[in-house]
Amino acid sequence: LVLCSVRDVPRALAELRRVLRPGGQVRFFEHGRGGGRAMTFTQRALDRTLWPPLSGGCHLSREPVAALREAGFTLGPYRQVMMPEHGPALPSSYCVLGTAWRPS
């Protein structure tokens, strides 16, 4: 849960790619956009108002898999997970867990 809180995701991922050796692995567990239209609307509304100041700069509606791909990482296996697994779906419940590599 780092990419949800950094101010400049492309810059952070560019630096990660720079310092990671070729073939190096990144394991990630991140919040992400999820649910239907109503949940996406709610996540975006929270991102523009209350959520970041109350949660250390966290943004709920970012797309970490797309950001990793755009930064030039090769995506390995990843899956969408709900946190908590059982119970109501909250704006912060939609997460992604996976692996990416810096290309050789």
Q: Given the structure tokens 């692996």, which residue do they identify?
A: 99
Q: What are the residue ranges spanned by the domains of the chain?
A: 9-101
Report CA-CA distances (Å) from 16 to 36, 68, 81.
31, 10, 24
- As a whole number of angstroms, the distance between CA 17 and CA 80 comes to 23
Q: How much is the pTM? A: 0.90
Q: What percent of the chain has pLDDT over 90?
A: 93
pLDDT one-digit tens code per residue, 60-83: 999 999 999 999 999 999 999 999
Predicted confidence at residue 90, as pLDDT, reads 94
pLDDT one-digit tens code per residue, 25-62: 999 999 999 989 999 999 999 999 999 999 999 999 99
Predicted confidence at residue 35, as pLDDT, reads 87
CA-wise closest residue to 96 among 73, 68, 56 = 68
